[in-house]
Amino acid sequence: MRVMRRFVVLALVLVLLLAIKINTAEDEYSDVETFRGAQLKESVFYPLIAKNINDGGGMKLTMDGDDITWSAAELYLNDNMEVMASLKFLRSVLRVPADCYEDSRVVVERNDDTYELFLDSTDGMKNGEALELKSAPVKYKESFYVPLRDICEYFGYGYAWSTKNTSLALYSDKENPSVLPRRYDLREKGRVSEIKDQGNTKTCWAYASIGALESGLLPEESPNLSAEDLIENKPYTYLDNPGGDYAMALAYLLSWKGPVVMDPKRTVKHVQEVHFYDTDDIDDIKWGVYLYGGVSTSVYADVSAPSLGASSYYDSSTNAYCYRGTNSPNHDVVIVGWDDHYSATNFADNVPGDGAFICQNSWGADFGDQGVFYVSYYDANIGNQAVSYAKVENTDNYALLHQMDEGGWMGQIGYGKSGAWAAAVYTAGVDETIKAAGFYALDKETSYQIYAVSSYTSEKSLASRRLVASGTLEDAGYYTIPFLEQINVNKGEDFAIVIFLNTPDNDHPIAIEYQRENVVGDGIDITDGTSFVSKNGLDWESIEKTSKGNLCLKVYADEWKKEE
């Protein structure tokens, strides 16, 4: 009976769709025809169509003709058939800062323009002058969404929605592309966390990681995340170094052990995507700050905190620092802005040119300019091990996490060429719907293919895989990729996820967890999983046997509620 009712509803929706005049190049779904002699009311069938599209996995999206991978939670159709976009969507796809203030005002920046949009109102402002929207921004499922068609109109973007194909095509303004400002300071945007003081401990890595993460949540959210919990519950310890690094922080965060708030202690967010940058990626780092908030980075501090003022590389009168030697980095800070015109004369030593990153330290508010100082673009280490937290979601995004790499990325394997295959096998603890997979892209322009095997019995089962996602990733980092097709698995059944990664500048493209000689910790257990690597996708080797490690490949799922 349920199947019959669902068929009737689907048939009705299809009939209603046929009653709409649709032009895939123009947005003309407002024209209404009659159905069996009666006028169809938009207020009746628009919500039905929108619900069918939203519940059916969303819409296909292209930007300038290229398919875009995005989370289904970032776009939805409202009851007026308007595409509403989350602020995360604006940052990740349109590449503009978009933030919410006072729980009611959305600020979107692009080039020299600032747009202010107000919750539940079609009145807005551009650079202080009034403008009118076709639809009002709303709060939906605890997040803020804005009318995408209005935003595209403001930006000079092309916008084409097709109800027939449930697809949205966007076309960027190539004559007026998005550019970085010459100066940008997150302090002026209310997006810098409280200055912390690490004291005499070697815990800068934890404060920098948590500070960058908090910056990405501000100003829409301002949780007081605990660096101390990260320090106490890190997955491993270096025997030859009492400190830590960004990889240790990522292992903790990506395993959903944190970030936490205290009193009562609880995990409040799930980190799903991070981007990595190199020391020579000045513009890439700026884009990271511009779009996602603070970027943690390593520098070399030639004296112990808090005595940097005594360093010959630091000018305390200008709060400016530049080290151009060959020593490796030993301190972590958070990049919270930049100034291309910051004069080279501000630095204690000669530097080749102007320009500096604005950095937040963890040596208390008495250091520098209330805890902040300037680091030259020409510093030898600025941007080293730089990380931005590009996608941080609420803890209800997925109910279940499968993983065998709680120690995180500790090494990498491959076959001396840019491409390699890998597979991870897991057992469903309940009836599950497998929705996404997460992995490390170890360099820029990594292309990926993800396959699912819903019933795994042996390595031969990996040949029965079916493609569930593919694409190319611009930055190195960790990515969670939603599947185009969700996979249902019965409780107790083994299933496998297979990936093929091609990383042009890396001949060992597969990240693994393994037991390093100078590392100890309960978070590293290479016996807690089954994973394989292959050079051709046909012949498979056990990663545990050949490399004494586990594959870094996480799987995200929700409980599958079967119909009776």
At 8, is the pLDDT very low, low, confident or very high (cuts 50, 70, 90)? very low
Cα distance between residue 45 and residue 18, in whole Å = 12
**What is the secondary structure of 236-267 as a DSSP string?**
-EETT-SS--HHHHHHHHHTT---EETTTTEE
Helix, strand, coil % over all residues of the chain, rounded to 5? 20, 35, 45
- Tell me whether residue 298 is exposed, middle or buried, using C-beta atoms within 10 angstroms of its C-beta: 0 to 12, 13 to 18, 19 or more: buried
Q: How distant, in Å, are the alpha carbons of 45, 49, 50, 83, 271 from that of 79?
A: 9, 8, 6, 10, 31
Nearest CA to 357 out of 444, 296, 306 is that of 296
pLDDT tens per residue, range 370-409 = 999 999 999 999 999 999 999 999 999 999 999 999 999 9
pLDDT tens per residue, range 241-295 = 888 999 999 999 999 999 999 989 999 999 999 999 988 899 999 999 999 999 9
At 331, is the pLDDT very low, low, confident or very high (cuts 50, 70, 90)? very high
At 20, is the pLDDT very low, low, confident or very high (cuts 50, 70, 90)? very low
- The mean predicted confidence, pLDDT, of the chain is 89
Residue written as token pair 């490690």: 549
Cα distance between residue 258 and residue 265, in whole Å = 10
At 553, is the pLDDT very low, low, confident or very high (cuts 50, 70, 90)? very high
Mind spelling out the 3-state secondary structure of 21-43? Answer: CCCCCCCCCCCECEECCEECCHH
Query: Under a CB-based contact definition with an 8 Å cutoff, are residues 522 and 500 in contact?
Result: no
Higher pLDDT, 11 or 406: 406
Question: Does the N-terminal peptide bond of residue 259 adopt cis geometry, omega within 30 degrees of 0?
Answer: yes
Q: Is residue 47 predicted with pLDDT exceeding 60?
A: yes
- Tell me whether residue 117 is exposed, middle or buried, using C-beta atoms within 10 angstroms of its C-beta: 0 to 12, 13 to 18, 19 or more: buried
pLDDT at 58: 72
Nearest CA to 213 out of 293, 333, 101 is that of 293
Higher pLDDT, 31 or 389: 389
At 5, is the pLDDT very low, low, confident or very high (cuts 50, 70, 90)? very low
pTM as predicted: 0.90
pLDDT tens per residue, range 479-526 = 999 998 889 999 999 999 999 999 998 999 999 999 888 899 888 999
In this structure, what DSSP letter does residue 348 have? S
pLDDT tens per residue, range 423-476 = 999 999 999 999 999 999 999 999 999 999 999 999 999 999 999 999 999 999
Identity of the highest mean pLDDT range in 134-143, 315-324, 513-522:
315-324
At 29, is the pLDDT very low, low, confident or very high (cuts 50, 70, 90)? very low
Task: For strands 183-185 and 237-238, give the pairing.
Answer: unpaired
Higher pLDDT, 299 or 239: 299
Q: Report which residue type is found at 472.
A: T
pLDDT tens per residue, range 146-164 = 999 999 999 999 999 998 8
- Other C-beta atoms closer than 10 Å to the C-beta of 403 total 22
Cα distance between residue 117 and residue 144, in whole Å = 11
Number of helices (H), then strands (E), in the chain = 9, 41
Q: Is residue 98 predicted with pLDDT exceeding 80?
A: yes
Which residues, 6 or more positions from 311, have their beta carbon under 8 angstroms from its beta carbon? Answer: 301, 302, 303, 321
Query: Under a CB-based contact definition with an 8 Å cutoff, are residues 465 and 453 in contact?
Result: yes
At 310, is the pLDDT very low, low, confident or very high (cuts 50, 70, 90)? low
Q: Is residue 16 predicted with pLDDT exceeding 80?
A: no
At 206, is the pLDDT very low, low, confident or very high (cuts 50, 70, 90)? very high
At 303, is the pLDDT very low, low, confident or very high (cuts 50, 70, 90)? low
Q: Is residue 35 predicted with pLDDT exceeding 50?
A: no
pLDDT at 561: 87
At 40, is the pLDDT very low, low, confident or very high (cuts 50, 70, 90)? low
Helix axes 204-217, 246-254, angle to 10 degrees: 50
Alpha helices in 120-274 (DSSP H): 148-155, 204-217, 227-232, 246-254
All domains in the chain, ordered by first residue: 2-171 (3.30.457.10), 183-390 (3.90.70.10), 398-559 (2.60.120)
User: Tokens for 1?
Assistant: 């009976």
